[in-house]
């Protein structure tokens, strides 16, 4: 379950300067007025993650749906871990007072999808998986969904949070019949999510089709005859 946030939860992203290539820069000094009283109290099994978020310890989930309640209860039948869910391996990096609130994106070595990457946050003592953090980051910037994350580029402190336009519903690339809506915009399956966006952005800012491109356009093949369906459209990146 994603971390619990006080009211104005999505504004937490305003305290960070996202290195995402999606959306305008946000004011890192913005005041979101969050209150986490009770998070991390002895016996609560909750831990602070960043300035405005709280997570349950592994093997625990929220006892209540109330946004201002921070007590976590054991997941029934799970022992020390959540039943049926891979907890993942935390970063092999120091997590101490100097690394407090540091965010790290770890890619899945068996997957090329950014949605399979995991976001980890240092609470000053241990790395806690911040489930749903990519979504929070993208929603705070006005995007309807997140594809996931990438590790921080060289020289940057924060991971890249990859944000998308469109319904964001899950899709199968092999079965989705992509279409151009104009010479730039495509309705396609990108990283397993239905996307309606500019090819120029997908090629350059997101690097959805490989690194190094600066622009792109939508290409729709002509059908062999008027009664036939055209082959799926694609973004041609340059």
Q: Rounded to whole angstroms, how far apart are CA atoms 161 and 142?
A: 13
Q: Rounded to whole angstroms, how far apart are CA atoms 185 and 202?
A: 10
Q: Which residue has the higher pLDDT, 45 or 90?
A: 90
- pTM for the whole thing? 0.66
Q: Rounded to whole angstroms, how far apart are CA atoms 166 and 6?
A: 28
CB-hemisphere CA count at 13 Å for 81?
8
CA–CA distances in Å: residue 202 to residues 93, 170, 198: 32, 17, 6
pLDDT digits (tens, 9 = 90+) for 172-215: 999 999 999 999 999 999 999 999 999 999 999 999 999 999 99
pLDDT digits (tens, 9 = 90+) for 213-227: 999 999 999 888 878
């Amino acid at each position: 379950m994603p971390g619990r946030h006080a009211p104005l939860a999505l504004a937490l992203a305003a305290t960070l300067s996202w290195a995402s290539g999606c959306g305008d820069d946000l004011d890192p000094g913005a005041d979101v007025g969050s209150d986490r009283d009770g998070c991390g109290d002895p016996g609560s099994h909750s831990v602070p993650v960043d300035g405005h978020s709280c997570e349950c310890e592994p093997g625990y989930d929220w006892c209540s749906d109330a946004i201002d309640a921070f007590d976590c209860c054991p997941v029934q039948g799970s022992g020390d871990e959540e039943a049926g869910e891979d907890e993942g391996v935390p970063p092999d990096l120091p997590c101490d007072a100097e690394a407090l609130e540091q965010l790290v994106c770890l890619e899945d070595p068996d997957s090329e999808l950014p949605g399979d990457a995991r976001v980890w946050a240092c609470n000053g003592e241990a790395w806690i998986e911040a489930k749903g953090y990519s979504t929070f980051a993208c929603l705070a910037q006005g995007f309807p969904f997140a594809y996931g994350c990438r590790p921080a580029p060289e020289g940057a402190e924060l991971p890249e949070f990859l944000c998308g336009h469109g319904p964001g519903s899950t899709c199968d690339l092999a079965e989705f019949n992509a279409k151009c809506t104009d010479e730039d915009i495509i309705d396609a399956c990108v990283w397993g999510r239905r996307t309606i966006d500019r090819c120029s952005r997908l090629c350059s800012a997101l690097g959805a089709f490989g690194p190094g491109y600066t622009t792109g356009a939508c290409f729709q093949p002509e059908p062999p005859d008027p009664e036939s369906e055209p082959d799926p459209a694609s973004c041609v990146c340059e």
